[in-house]
């Protein structure tokens, strides 16, 4: 879902590809794009300016399961490099997107945040459930926590779905855009 939403945001904000991060911990795969061009796996960086705010999207063709399976040291090196790039680009907020299999009728999206100030901002929001008192084994949650150490407020949207269909993709995009607006307001204060 994260790669799909990254593509949607790139189109929505008419973003420009400005670079990529090479991480040698990625597997020795060659990714061949739709034009037939082969390249090593990277994290691609996109940029757009909207009003007074800059929006960046970091995305990769690597599957989430692979990143989750990296050794702790390798995963931490990757996330540290991405956070370093974010600091160099003066990024002021991080949003990650993931989905989980929905097992109940509750369709609320979940949030993981990295500060008490963000807890206060979202605790009364009826669209989201803040995750409390749990352990999460997910690398996207880890980068949200790590962002706190470099002074970047961050949250993770965990979107429950039964199946990956167009309705769920559009509903998730609505949540992402809403959270981006919230992030603009948050950093604007």
Rounded Cα distance, 143 and 114, in Å: 10
**Arithmetic mean of pLDDT over the chain:** 85
pLDDT at position 127 is: 85
pLDDT at position 16 is: 95
Tokens found for residue 83: 């956070």
pLDDT at position 106 is: 64
For the CA atoms of 121, 124, 125, 127, the dihedral, rounded to the nearest 10 degrees, stands at 140
Rounded Cα distance, 186 and 93, in Å: 9
> What is this structure's pTM?
0.84
Mean pLDDT per 10-residue segment, the chain (189 residues): 82 92 81 88 89 86 78 88 91 86 72 93 88 82 92 89 75 86 85
The residues facing 101 across adjacent strands are 161
- The burial class, CB within 10 Å (0-12 / 13-18 / 19+), for 174 is exposed
CA distances from 123 to 90, 113, 129, 186 (A): 27, 11, 8, 15
Residue spans per domain, the chain: 2-188
Q: Answer whether CATH 3.40.50.11540 is correct for domain 2-188.
A: no
């Amino acid at each position: 879902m994260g790669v799909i939403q990254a593509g949607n945001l790139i189109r929505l904000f008419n973003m420009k590809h400005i670079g990529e991060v090479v991480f040698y911990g990625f597997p020795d795969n060659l990714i061949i794009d739709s034009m037939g061009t082969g390249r090593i796996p990277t994290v691609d960086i996109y940029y757009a300016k909207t009003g007074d705010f800059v929006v960046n999207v970091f995305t990769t063709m690597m599957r989430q399961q692979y990143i989750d399976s990296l050794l702790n040291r390798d995963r931490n090196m990757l996330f540290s490099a991405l956070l370093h790039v974010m600091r160099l680009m003066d990024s002021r907020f991080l949003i990650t997107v993931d989905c989980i299999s929905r097992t109940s009728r509750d369709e609320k999206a979940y949030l993981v945040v990295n500060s008490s100030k963000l807890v206060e901002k979202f605790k009364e929001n009826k669209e989201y459930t803040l995750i409390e008192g749990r352990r999460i084994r997910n690398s996207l949650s880890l980068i949200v926590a790590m962002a706190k150490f470099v002074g970047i407020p961050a949250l993770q949207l965990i979107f429950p779905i039964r199946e990956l269909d167009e309705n769920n993709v559009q509903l998730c995009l609505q949540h992402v855009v809403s959270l981006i607006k919230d992030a603009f307001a948050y950093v604007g204060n």
